[in-house]
Amino acid sequence: MKMNNASDAQILIIDAGAQYGKVINRKIEELGIKTVFLPLNSTYETLSQYGSVKGIIISGGPGIGTVEAADLLKETVFKLALPILGICFGNQIIASAFGSTVESTITREDGQFRINIDPTSILFSGMKEEQEVLATHGYGITKIGPELRVIASSDGFIQGVQHVNRPIYGVQFHPEVDLTIHGREILRNFCYKICGIAISDVMKNRQALCLEDIRNSVQDKTVLALLSGGVDSTVLAALLTKALGPGRVLAIHIDNGLMRKNESTLV
């Protein structure tokens, strides 16, 4: 999987070998938030070089979040002292790190399930108590540790936890997929309300992503842009000019005969 090398990333995604790892990355970037995607065994020195990061997501994975695995992340991810969201395997890592018991469950969960959430938790802010989510796991939290509290559950399963003092959250289901109906809201709550990423920062970042995408796509070529005078084509021409410079953008206005009086002159 391609890894970003973005010094201005705001969300750090730790990949534990998740089948939906790339989906997490895409869903966060759809919010206009830049990410960096790094493997689970990344060193503290590697992680700490991203000074603009405001939160961490630990992905799902094929393994079980054992105490041994959690101990390794205590010297890397947890040492950064940033807000953390653990998904599936990541949730188990958080549970093990704070004294919970994680073990094989009597039955697997594979598919869409209804769960009950605690809407007073910031992670679930603005959401109804009953939710439909996608779960794919055979391991789970069977006993909660003293530093955590349960914020989501279903029939016999602990589906979500929250640290009682620190901005650390875990969900056993997958908020990044469409089968988790309000998964996008969960990710938004984590990024905006828990990590404190400002909307103004997101808008600046969205423009930066557009400019970078234009430069990567166009490379050393010149662009011909056709302008109708409407918002879409005008914004496009402005972004092209900002990304490439006026010397590499040829903007042509097409008068289709339906323009208002003198509008073509203004364009």
Residues annotated as catalytic are 88, 174, 176
Tell me which amino acid residue 213 is.
D
Q: Which residue has the tokens 């208002």?
A: 260
Query: Residue 157 corresponds to which tokens in the numbers above?
Result: 């399963």
Query: Residue 120 corresponds to which tokens in the numbers above?
Result: 């007073």
Cα separation, 155 vs 49, in Å, equals: 42
Cα separation, 106 vs 140, in Å, equals: 10
Tell me which amino acid residue 5 is.
N
The residue ranges of DSSP E strands in the chain, in sequence order, are 11-15, 35-39, 55-58, 84-87, 101-117, 130-143, 148-154, 157-163, 168-171, 223-227, 249-253
